[in-house]
Amino acid sequence: MGEKKRAQYGRLAGWVGIICNILLSAGKFVAGSLSGSVSITADALNNFSDASSSLISLIGFQLSEKRPDAEHPYGHARYEYISGFVVAILVIVIGIELLKSGIERIITPQQVEFTVVSVVVMLVSVAVKFGMMIFDRSVGRRIDSQTLIAAAADSRNDCIVTGAVLVAGVVSHYTSLQLDGIMAVAVAGFILYSGAGLVRDTMNPLIGKAPSPEMVKSIQEKILSYPGVLGTHDLIVHDYGHGRKFATVHVEMAAEDDVIRSHEVIDSIERDFLRDEGINMLIHFDPVVTDSSAVGDIRRELSRIVKLIDARLSIHDLRLVCCGDYTKAYFDVVAPRELGMNEEELRREISRFVSEKYPELRCVITFDDSFAAIPPEQ
């Protein structure tokens, strides 16, 4: 689906959300005022916050559609993430205000007049929110929008919250139990919980979240399917919003193969990723010596040694340099950040294992950070 068509779907969903939530908010505010129910009023404010969220999402879709320019060569698609973050902050602010109102009502309870109008408004709200959930989820999946999928989840949750408020009102009306303030606090707590989740979900791509293990595995498998490719490492994926992903990776190919032919394969990989996956791929060619059995044996043994220390470790870019009565082995090690030992400790441990197997080798190790969700080689 083209970006223009996607933005049109996003704007349509935004307007539907704005109109429906404003109507629901107005109806619940009237019902809450007539009955004196703070929990219904809290639910009305919740719908108003949803309308504000839809408006901000609408603006985000509009801005993210802008084409790249000289100052923003990676495009403007991250406006969608920024709009989501603003929505999350609004949700949290409203949740705090509702929490204060609910606590005040618990301290000084008041009799709630639960009317037929209130019941009708709440039942209509559940029906409308259920319809919005189906609509947003369908459109969100169609255009691959986490914003709309989150909106669908929010509508589902609103159905639950409104149903709970309705139950509390009926119980308070027919019994001596005053659940209005308690339910308002519960609604506020739910809003705060949802807001915290939204902050996390929208901050991660803005800060720079690692690609998912599924994406890493898919990229690796696709690259390894090309002729002449022996391995990959140092994968980095940059997410600048929907349809604006950039990636760099090192691809290992035999040093003895024709360089022109290897370059053609790499060009094909880059073109195919852009066409099939929408990823702008930049590949660095790493030549690997394959016609030397000694180098091959040492490479395999080094890989075995590092995995004895930790199964998540991997090596690449092995190079042997003869220095008279000993040989220097230059290679890189990719280690996860949560390994549990620092680089110097890991260097000593690897060197100790290697010296036991190859006394003539001196290890010169460079450590690489893993920017993927799983180690580059499995």
Mean pLDDT by 10 residues, the chain (378 residues): 73 88 87 74 78 80 81 83 79 80 80 72 88 89 78 79 76 74 80 82 82 88 93 89 86 90 95 92 89 84 91 87 87 85 90 90 87 54
What is the reported pTM? 0.67
In contact, 265 and 226? CB cutoff 8 Å: yes
Domain boundaries, the chain: 3-207, 213-369
Q: What is the pLDDT of residue 201?
A: 81
Residue 376 confidence (pLDDT): 44
How many Å separate Cα 90 from the centre of its chain?
20
- Exposure letters 38-76 (e unless 16+ CB within 10 A, then b): bbbbbbbbbbbbbbbbbbbbbbbbebbbeeeeeeeeebb
pLDDT at position 324 is: 81
Q: Residue type for 55, please?
A: L
| Dihedral angle sign, alpha carbons of residues 331, 335, 339, 343 | positive
Are 3-207 and 213-369 the same fold in CATH?
Answer: no
Structure tokens at 361: 């080798």
Q: Determine the pLDDT at residue 218.
A: 92
Crossing angle for the helix pair 3-35 and 146-174, nearest 10 degrees?
10
Could you please state the CATH topology (level 3) that the domain comprising 213-369 is classified under: Alpha-Beta Plaits (3.30.70)
Q: How far apart are CA 141 and CA 342, in angstroms?
A: 43
- Containing 366, the helix (H) or strand (E) segment is strand 361-369
Q: What pLDDT was estimated at residue 1?
A: 55
What per-residue confidence (pLDDT) applies to 111? 67
Alpha carbon distance 198, 205 (integer Å):
12
- Rounded CA separation 216/245 (Å): 13
Look at residue 12 in the predicted model and tell me its pLDDT.
Answer: 86
Class of domain 3-207: mainly alpha
